Amino acid sequence: MAARAAGTSAWPKGWADDSHPLPSFKGPLPCLYDGRLLTLEDTVEFFNLVQGLKLSDQEKKDLVAFLRAL
């Protein structure tokens, strides 16, 4: 892998400015940036329905466990 000059990035210019930081999922939190979902489980279920993901109950539990481990 070639070395990069100091201060350069592999990401497109401005990309980091447009992204939100990943929140910590370890404590109590309202989820989503507007706070409308109260738990991480609610958030996973919301996106499961809105995105039509068709996750099983076990897949949702696994996803929540994974996010809490971050």
How confident is the prediction along the chain (70 residues), in pLDDT tens digits per residue? 455 555 555 656 655 555 555 555 666 566 677 778 888 899 999 999 999 999 999 999 999 999 888 7
**Which candidate, 49, 2, 55, 34, places its Cα nearest to that of 64?**
55
- pLDDT for the residue 11: 57
The pTM (predicted TM-score) of the whole model is 0.59
- pLDDT for the residue 37: 87
Residues 31, 38 contacting (CB under 8 angstroms): yes
Q: What is the CA radius of gyration of the chain?
A: 17
- pLDDT for the residue 62: 96
